[in-house]
């Protein structure tokens, strides 16, 4: 369980529910789909502020379209996480 309170998709209403729905509708590689019905943890981590969530993942999503192929982006993200000793 996270150390910061989060709001699940089933609990969300108003603008948070809208943001969750918009993000769930985006095409996402299977590797990024968690084996549960809720939003991925890194997205739920932002759920106390729907505006923040939307703005943050607008950047994250836009980065996927930039000049590198998927394997190169995955390498960069994996090495960054490894260097930061982070599972993510």
Partner 1 sequence: MSVAVLSGADGQLPPRVAALARFAVTLTAEPWSLTGSAADELTEHGFGADAIEAATGVVAMFNYLTRVADATGIEFDYASPLPAFQPDLGRGPVARPSRPSWPVVPGEFRTLPRFPAVSEAWQRWRGYVFGSEELLTHRERQLLAGAAAEGCCDRWRADLLAGYEPENAAESRLVEFARKLTLQPWQMRAADLDALREAGYAEAALLHAIVVVALQNAESRLAMGRAMTGS
Residues 3-62 that bind partner 1 (CB under 8 A): 3-6, 31-36, 40-42, 44-46, 48-49, 51-52, 55-56, 58-60, 62
Closer Cβ to partner 1, 1 or 25, answer by number: 1
Question: Who contacts 7 (Cβ-Cβ below 8 Å, separation ≥6)?
Answer: 16, 44, 47, 48
Residues 59-88 that bind partner 1 (CB under 8 A): 59-60, 62-63, 65-68, 72-73, 75-88
Q: Tokens standing for 49? A: 């502020």
CB of 80 to partner 1, least distance (A): 4
Residue with tokens 């980065």: 63
Q: Tokens standing for 46? A: 């932002």
Q: Please, are residues 39 and 24 in contact by the beta-carbon 8 Å criterion?
A: yes
Residues that bind partner 1 (CB under 8 A): 1-6, 31-36, 40-42, 44-46, 48-49, 51-52, 55-56, 58-60, 62-63, 65-68, 72-73, 75-88
């Amino acid at each position: 369980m996270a150390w910061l309170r989060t709001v699940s998709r089933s609990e969300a209403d108003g603008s948070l529910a809208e943001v969750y729905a918009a993000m769930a509708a985006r095409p996402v590689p299977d590797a990024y789909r968690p084996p549960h019905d809720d939003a991925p943890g890194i997205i739920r981590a932002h759920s106390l502020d729907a505006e923040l969530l939307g703005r943050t993942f607008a950047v994250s999503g836009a980065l996927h379209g930039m000049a590198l192929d998927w394997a190169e982006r995955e390498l960069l993200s994996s090495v960054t996480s490894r260097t930061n000793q982070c599972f993510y």
